[in-house]
């Protein structure tokens, strides 16, 4: 993104208005890309519009790719016409609309796309029924499946709005429905409302008969946190939902109805501000060690039968296309459609992760993470079982 600012520097200096410069300064100050001293210096040391523009763009590009991309994002939000005139719009500079928690202008390759869920055969389902290494699924249990879908799209601070997230919501609702889940859907929740939605979900009568649940939460976030729609940078009491609450509300103590049943968690949210790519030398060194300690015996395990797929590794960002939705959800839907009739959930998640291994333009890398996996058996969704 630094290269992109370099390429548009002359046009930016020529065309940007003083009003837009002031707006960008406020945005970048709020993002903590600029500090008060840098903002004041750009304004006070440069009386002409052009000189302020030069100083602004030069200051930001020196800070690296992520600050440069955020400035580009603000230009797109504040002045879409200038954004296009600078050649930052689709098709003029490769893959423009890529930024943390927002706009990658790239799509899954054609071979990864699949729009139709392949159903199982009755022979496949019957083959799995007597296998003790597989969680049991019956037609009766499948009829009680329920899923929770929470999507935050519109935020109190307009620039945090998650363009493309509506597509994610539509894609996930369709996939979950086709997998046999009744979808309990919520949109634009605060952190407190997310917590309440999970508590209410954990008390649903259908959980007693279901074979599994799926919970999908899509929003902005950081490590261990999902942001509610009232979140604002710098708030003394930020609108933040601790992800640990999810496991507590659905765990053995608070939700005994889900004891020994798979709980599949999907979270699409950034877990930090860093890029998911690094430059390495010859190869990684491996360190092995640590003590093995015996766990304390309990009547039941506090947290068991969970599997979670988070959109990126700790401290890094995830990417979303403004028209097609996030890469994670696109790849999940495509992979599930293609192989959920023969793969268990862990294998499905592995194949989703594999799609990220080579995809992504340049150094914009994202690697989903399987987290807190306590499944003791294999779980198959058995799509189409009720139709057999």
Q: What angle do CA 354, 359, 364 make, to 5 degrees?
A: 120
Query: Residue 103 has what pLDDT?
Result: 41
**Catalytic residue among 74, 99, 186, 220, which?**
220
Contacts of 178 (CB under 8 A, 6+ apart): 117, 383
Query: Residue 109 has what pLDDT?
Result: 41
Residue 315 has pLDDT above 60, yes or no: no
Residue 346 has pLDDT above 80, yes or no: yes
Residue 210 has pLDDT above 80, yes or no: yes
Write the pLDDT tens digit of every residue in 37-56: 899 999 989 889 999 999 99
Q: How many CA atoms lie within 13 A of 120 on its CB side?
A: 27
**Which one has a higher pLDDT value, 353 or 302?**
353
Minimum mean pLDDT among 84-88, 180-184, 341-345, 346-350: which range? 84-88
Mean model confidence pLDDT for the chain: 81
Q: Is 2 buried (19+), middle (13-18) or exposed (0-12) by CB count in 10 A?
A: middle
* Residue 181 DSSP label: P
Q: How far apart are CA 304 and CA 310, in angstroms?
A: 18
**Which one has a higher pLDDT value, 196 or 273?**
196
Set out the domains of the chain in order of their start, with CATH numbers.
2-85 (1.10.533.10), 110-274+298-387 (3.40.50.1460)
Helix ranges restricted to H, 179-259? 191-202, 244-250
Q: How far apart are CA 285 and CA 201, in angstroms?
A: 45
74 is catalytic: no
220 is catalytic: yes
**Under 8 Å between Cβ of 277 and 364:** yes
Minimum mean pLDDT among 66-75, 91-100, 289-298, 299-308: which range? 91-100
**Catalytic residue among 270, 312, 321, 341, which?**
270
Minimum mean pLDDT among 101-105, 136-140, 201-205, 346-350: which range? 101-105
First to last CA, the chain: 52
**Under 8 Å between Cβ of 95 and 104:** yes
């Amino acid at each position: 993104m630094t290269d992109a600012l370099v390429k548009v520097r002359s046009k930016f200096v020529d065309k940007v208005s003083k009003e837009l410069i002031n707006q960008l300064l406020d945005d970048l100050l709020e993002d903590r890309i600029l500090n008060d001293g840098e903002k004041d210096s750009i304004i006070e040391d440069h009386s002409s519009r052009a000189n302020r523009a030069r100083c602004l763009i030069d200051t930001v590009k020196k800070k690296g790719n992520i600050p440069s991309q955020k400035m580009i994002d603000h230009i797109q939000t504040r002045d879409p016409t200038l954004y296009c005139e600078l050649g930052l719009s689709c098709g003029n500079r490769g893959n423009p609309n890529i930024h943390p928690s927002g706009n990658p202008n790239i799509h899954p390759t054609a071979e990864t796309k699949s729009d139709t869920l392949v159903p199982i055969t009755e022979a496949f389902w019957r083959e799995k029924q007597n296998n003790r290494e597989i969680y049991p699924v019956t037609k009766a249990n499948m009829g009680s499946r329920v899923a929770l879908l929470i999507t935050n799209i519109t935020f109190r601070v307009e620039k945090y709005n998650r363009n493309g997230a509506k597509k994610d919501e539509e894609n996930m609702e369709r996939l979950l429905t086709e997998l046999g889940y009744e979808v309990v859907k919520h949109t634009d929740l605060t952190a407190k409302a997310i917590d309440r939605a999970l508590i209410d979900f954990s008390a649903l009568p259908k959980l007693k008969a279901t074979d599994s649940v799926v919970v999908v939460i899509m929003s902005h976030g950081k490590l261990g946190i999902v942001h509610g729609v009232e979140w604002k940078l710098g708030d003394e009491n930020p609108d933040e939902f601790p992800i640990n609450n999810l496991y507590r509300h659905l765990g053995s103590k608070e939700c005994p109805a889900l004891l020994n049943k798979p709980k599949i968690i999907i979270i699409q949210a950034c877990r930090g501000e860093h890029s998911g790519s690094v430059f390495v030398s010859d190869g990684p060194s491996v360190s092995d060690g640590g003590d093995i300690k015996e766990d304390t015996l309990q009547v039941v395990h506090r947290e068991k039968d969970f599997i979670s797929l988070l959109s990126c590794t700790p401290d890094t960002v995830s990417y979303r296309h403004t028209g097609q939705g996030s890469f994670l959800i696109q790849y999940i839907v495509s992979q599930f459609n293609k192989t959920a009739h023969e793969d268990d959930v862990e294998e499905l998640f592995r194949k989703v992760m594999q799609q990220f291994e080579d995809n992504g333009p340049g150094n914009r890398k994202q690697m989903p993470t399987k987290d807190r996996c306590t499944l003791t058996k294999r779980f198959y969704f058995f799509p189409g079982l009720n139709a057999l």
